[in-house]
Chain A
Amino acid sequence: MAQIASLLAIDGALIVVAGWLAIGVAGLAALHNVRLVGRLLFPLSALLSVALAGIALLALPGTPQTAVLAIGLPDLPFHLRLDALSAFFLALLGLASAGISVFAGGYFRQGEGTPPGLLCMHYHLFLASMALVLLADDAYAYMVTWEMMALASFFLVTTNHRIAEIRKAGYLYLLVAHVGAIAILLCFGVLQANTGDYTFANMRAQHLSPFWASCAFGLSLFGFGAKAGILPLHIWLPEAHPAAPSPVSALMSGVMLKTAVYGLIRVNFDLIATPLWWWGTIALGLGLATAIFGVVFAAAQVDMKRLLAYSSIENIGLIVVGLGLAIVFNAYRMDALAALALAASLYHCLNHALFKSLLFLGTGSVLHATHERSLGKLGGLMRFMPFVAWTTLVGVIASAGLPPSNGFVSEWLLLQSFLFTGELPNPYLRMLVPVFAAGVVLVAALAGYVMVKFFGVIFLGRPREEKLAQARDADGLERLGLAWLTAGCLLLGLFPVAVLEVIDPITVAMVGKGLAQSGHAGDWLMLAPVSAERASYSPLLFFLLTLSIVLVAFALVRRFYHGRVRRAAPWDCGFPMQTARMQDTAEGFGQPIRQIFEPFFRMRRELPSPFDSAPRYKVTVEDPMWAWVYLRIAAVTEAASRLVGLLQRGRISIYLLYSFVTLVALLSLTQL
């Protein structure tokens, strides 16, 4: 009985996957029926997501389970494995997609390019392929499911395919995804070390020389980095995420980027036997550069979804910083500290999945209510859409990394692991890493700035357009999705020790030590990674104390004084004229950052002259990576192709000459 019960976890996960695929096919059957797809199929898939999360959390502390699916070529079945790491990411997938699917049920409308039934199929194919990527145990299964994921998400991104910009964004996304996939394939090729057996179990048993191991690391960073959005391969993220419909953006930003992080952890902590310290330093530097780049660009955006896309780049950068630190500690055999850094990264993955999805879904509601994506045409929506506004506020506090939200806990853990680097044997690292900590702190502070801009310009102030007064708040299913994600953010923030106990088996499996296992995570009330004298943080106490002070202050003021309020026009220093155009625009709010970080941007400004009859001011901010990296690569490729094009002469006798020369060359080669 126990055997059946223990095998049930991976089978349960496969049943959920099959269920999703079945829902997708059912969607095909009801191609144009929005109500059926929205009211029945998507909530059903949300229930399956919750089931998946439950199964994964139950299976996490247990022993790894394997299964073999006879899909694919006769001699190459799919090997699947459910161990602690896969279970964690499956739980992440389940929790985030539950909220997103419920929201999507209320979100998708008619006439957006793709019929709803087809959209349903693409969506569930996406979910199913992501789950299978997390379960894959050999390179073949991994690549097939990875490709499926890329294709499904491509179709999802180009849902509104009637708009040319969205098609372009989808194309760019597919291009970078395939460049990354080639690198991942090569990485697996290196890892199997000429044995011909592509299963992960075999790769684990190999001992690569440092050169080949470094090649594998570099290829994995490139390949998975292309999917995760690490500099300079982030170029598709700010285009694809805004182009996709909001639930899809949430799913991509919250979950798909994490599958790339999963791949990085799997390759570098599990499949490669001995990491080297300088890999971790490269990951640290690249992650920090990505984070700073992402947040600085987010501050300069005027489109709300692009802002969130750049913010995702920043968070992925922070996760990679944590991973780099964990690799460094792992290379020096400082297991407890590696566990701390890895736990911080994994916690941040989960947090980001939840709060970023919440933010994207909020923007989805705003988009449907106002049909505006540009920050310059929004404003004052808190009065018309209070539910969306308050739940987005929770997401904003989490994204800014402020206590008592979940975003703060993972940042706190990351900073704590930075403070321990004084015990590293390498003197260069011992001095450089605290300087990196300064960079991380700068990113965190700037994230607060970006989030104030985001929330303030959209929901607060006065509406910048008259039509905004007709905005309606989110309805039933959308509210449920937003509430689910908000509750997740709050719970993850208030009970960090419980989450750390869940993460523990993963760090034990990857680096050999766990925080809770060594008794060092604190108790249910207080998070104390090493000891309470060293560092401690109790979010529950924090929250309760603040709340009680607020309530007591409120009561005392009412008791001893009064609570009278009078409504009047705003003071505004006595200015007679107050229009909505006098508030800060999105460009205006981001101007100080543009000025301080000017070398980062490529800005084009159109300034009015005093003699213009209709003066206009316009500033466009562009990503410099286009000009520095991609256009140069394009130019080189074009030049090379032109050289190759010289071969095409148009005369038949020349082509026959080519064949003749090749034949003679091959014949002379056989002589040797």
Chain B
Amino acid sequence: MNVEGLLAQITALLVALAGAPLVMGWVNMCRAWLQNRAAPPLLQPFRLLHKLFWKESVIAHDASPLFRVAPYVVFGCMLLACMIIPTLSTNLPLAPAADAIALVGLFGLARLFISLAAMDIGTSFGTMGARREMLIGFLAEPAFLMVLFTASLISSSTSLATTVATLAHREFAIQPSLAFAGIAFTMVSLAENARVPVDNPATHLELTMIHEALILEYSGRHLALLEWAAALKLFAYSCAGLAIFFPWGIAEARDHVALLWALPALAVKLAVGGMALALIETILAKMRIFRVPEFLATAFLLGVLALLVHLLLGA
């Protein structure tokens, strides 16, 4: 591990911590513009986190230690995910700790802890949220893995750094398998990050909640950590998608000039992505919960199809 790598790793960490609420803020702004209302300021999520950290944490009488530990574990998992996905540079010394499959496992671990924490209090909304979250997870995880398998078959590696390096250096070619994988990835991201059409992040009706139902009993600093973790998850998924499907702009090792351009490139890509997300959320309506398995099964099949097309056509 050299100084350059260490610097790159710390930069990635700080960019993730600062950038995730910024991306959330940007998406909320775009959504407000599209809905023709006054937008909240860009830094509003930071104010929300600050406010929540100052508040007292109110916990139910029979909450177990698992309930209090879970927000920290979930935050830790999401931050680790952001640290190993190549956002600015592929020269991340900690990246070999987890490859693509381990990344999916990391998200699964976070999902397990938050579902168990939701079941801990023993209210009907908590268990409902846990059940729905595990349902979405069990369908979205295979779809995500299929997308990653397609990418890893193209680049002959499951290591994210190698995948980005290979995909960035190919000459431009229309690859139907990557197109299908991209559509599948978008569908999976929408489901996993609790966005419309799977879940409405701004809902107040309990029976329509999935992600909100999981964090219903949390308050104060625990809620702040969970909100930050949700923002980090969105950031991680966006960066993973950009790394696989739009890898231009990510710096390689020992490429100092590219490192200077990497941050503006990332900012531009995330801005465009955030606008696209807001557009999708405004155009589509939230689906019934019973239609979500079909939605995710379609994503899974698209992933398998992408794999098959890659094997059949070599493209």
**Interface residue ranges, A against B (CB under 8 Å):** 379-380, 382-383, 389, 393, 397, 400-403, 408, 412, 415-416, 419, 422, 430-431, 434-435, 437-438, 441-442, 444-446, 448-449, 451-453, 455-457, 460-462, 526, 528, 532-538, 541-542, 545-547, 549-550, 553-554, 557, 560-573, 575, 578, 580, 582-584, 588-589, 591-593, 595-596
Contact B112 A402 (CB under 8 A): yes
Residue of B nearest to A540 (CB): B97
With both chains docked as a complex, state the minimum distance between the C-beta of A398 and any C-beta of chain B, in angstroms: 12
Can you list 27 A-B contacts with CB-CB less than 8 angstroms, sorted by A residue number?
Answer: A382-B64, A382-B66, A402-B105, A403-B106, A408-B102, A412-B102, A452-B116, A460-B116, A462-B62, A532-B96, A536-B97, A536-B159, A541-B94, A542-B80, A542-B106, A546-B80, A547-B76, A549-B80, A550-B75, A561-B221, A566-B58, A569-B60, A570-B121, A570-B122, A570-B123, A573-B216, A584-B131
Contacts of B134 in A (CB 8 A): 448-449, 452-453
Which of B97, B293, B312 has most chain A Cβ within 10 Å?
A: B97
Contacts of A453 in B (CB 8 A): 134
In Å, the complex CA distance between A125 and B278 comes to 67
B260 interfacial contact with A, CB 8 Å: no
Q: Which 5 A-B pairs have CB atoms at the shortest separation, nearest pair first?
A: A461-B122, A462-B122, A584-B127, A456-B119, A549-B76
Question: Contacts A401-B105, A533-B159, A565-B56 given: A419-B152 contact, CB under 8 Å?
Answer: yes
Contacts of B307 in A (CB 8 A): 434-435, 438
Per-residue CB contact flags for chain B residues 81-113 toward chain A (1 = under 8 Å, else 0) read: 001000000000010111101100110110110
Contact A461 B158 (CB under 8 A): no
In Å, the complex CA distance between A593 and B134 comes to 11
Question: Contacts A422-B153, A534-B156, A541-B97 given: A448-B108 contact, CB under 8 Å?
Answer: yes
Contact A441 B145 (CB under 8 A): yes
Contact B135 A592 (CB under 8 A): yes
In Å, the complex CA distance between A583 and B124 comes to 5
In Å, the complex CA distance between A604 and B280 comes to 42
With both chains docked as a complex, state the minimum distance between the C-beta of A404 and any C-beta of chain B, in angstroms: 8
Question: Interface size class for chain B?
Answer: 35 or more
Contacts of B225 in A (CB 8 A): 553, 557
In Å, the complex CA distance between A541 and B9 comes to 15
Residue of A nearest to B290 (CB): A595
Number of A-B contacts (CB under 8 A): 251
In Å, the complex CA distance between A526 and B157 comes to 16
Describe A's contact surface by its main secondary structure: helix
Contact A461 B72 (CB under 8 A): no
B35 interfacial contact with A, CB 8 Å: no
Contacts of B210 in A (CB 8 A): none
In Å, the complex CA distance between A457 and B126 comes to 12
With both chains docked as a complex, state the minimum distance between the C-beta of A465 and any C-beta of chain B, in angstroms: 13
In Å, the complex CA distance between A565 and B219 comes to 10
Contact A460 B137 (CB under 8 A): no
B255 interfacial contact with A, CB 8 Å: no
Contact A572 B123 (CB under 8 A): yes
In Å, the complex CA distance between A563 and B54 comes to 9
Contacts of A578 in B (CB 8 A): 123
Which of B102, B152, B221 is the one whose CB lies under 8 Å from A557? B221
Contact B311 A534 (CB under 8 A): no
Question: Contacts A532-B159, A592-B293 given: A546-B76 contact, CB under 8 Å?
Answer: yes
Which residues of B in the span 131-145 have a Cβ within 8 Å of any Cβ on A?
131, 134-135, 137-139, 141-142, 145
In Å, the complex CA distance between A532 and B95 comes to 11
**Interface residue ranges, B against A (CB under 8 Å):** 53-54, 56-62, 64, 66, 68, 72-73, 75-77, 79-80, 83, 94, 96-99, 101-102, 105-106, 108-109, 111-112, 115-116, 119-128, 130-131, 134-135, 137-139, 141-142, 145-146, 149, 152-153, 156-159, 162, 206, 216-217, 220-221, 225, 290, 293, 300, 303-304, 307-308, 311-312
Question: Contacts A402-B109, A442-B142, A460-B119 given: A535-B158 contact, CB under 8 Å?
Answer: yes
Residue of B nearest to A412 (CB): B101
Which of A441, A546, A572 is the one whose CB lies under 8 Å from B142? A441
Which of B54, B61, B75, B138 is the one whose CB lies under 8 Å from A569? B61
Residue of B nearest to A547 (CB): B76
Residue of B nearest to A542 (CB): B97
Contact A460 B66 (CB under 8 A): yes
Contact B138 A565 (CB under 8 A): no
Which of B72, B138, B149 is the one whose CB lies under 8 Å from A445? B138
Contact B122 A379 (CB under 8 A): yes
In Å, the complex CA distance between A215 and B116 comes to 48
Question: Contacts A462-B62, A566-B57 given: A553-B72 contact, CB under 8 Å?
Answer: yes
Which of A403, A452, A535 is the one whose CB lies under 8 Å from B157? A535
Contact B72 A435 (CB under 8 A): no
Contacts of B128 in A (CB 8 A): 584
In Å, the complex CA distance between A379 and B122 comes to 9
Contact B137 A584 (CB under 8 A): no
Question: Contacts A419-B152, A553-B76 given: A568-B120 contact, CB under 8 Å?
Answer: no
Contacts of A419 in B (CB 8 A): 149, 152-153, 158
Given contacts A383-B62, A589-B131, A595-B290, 7 further A-B contacts (CB under 8 A): A389-B64, A412-B101, A546-B76, A557-B221, A567-B61, A573-B216, A583-B126
Which of B79, B112, B156 is the one whose CB lies under 8 Å from A549? B79
With both chains docked as a complex, state the minimum distance between the C-beta of B90 and any C-beta of chain A, in angstroms: 11
In Å, the complex CA distance between A382 and B62 comes to 10
Contacts of A412 in B (CB 8 A): 101-102, 105
With both chains docked as a complex, state the minimum distance between the C-beta of A378 and any C-beta of chain B, in angstroms: 12
Contact A441 B135 (CB under 8 A): no
In Å, the complex CA distance between A452 and B130 comes to 9
Residue of A nearest to B228 (CB): A553
Contact B116 A456 (CB under 8 A): yes
Contact A415 B101 (CB under 8 A): yes
Contact A550 B138 (CB under 8 A): no
Contact A403 B130 (CB under 8 A): no
In Å, the complex CA distance between A174 and B138 comes to 36
Which of B53, B105, B158 is the one whose CB lies under 8 Å from A408? B105
Contact B122 A588 (CB under 8 A): no
With both chains docked as a complex, state the minimum distance between the C-beta of B191 and any C-beta of chain A, in angstroms: 13
Contacts of B112 in A (CB 8 A): 397, 400, 402, 448, 451-452
With both chains docked as a complex, state the minimum distance between the C-beta of A475 and any C-beta of chain B, in angstroms: 21
Contacts of A389 in B (CB 8 A): 64
Contacts of A416 in B (CB 8 A): 101, 158
Contact B96 A568 (CB under 8 A): no
With both chains docked as a complex, state the minimum distance between the C-beta of B186 and any C-beta of chain A, in angstroms: 19
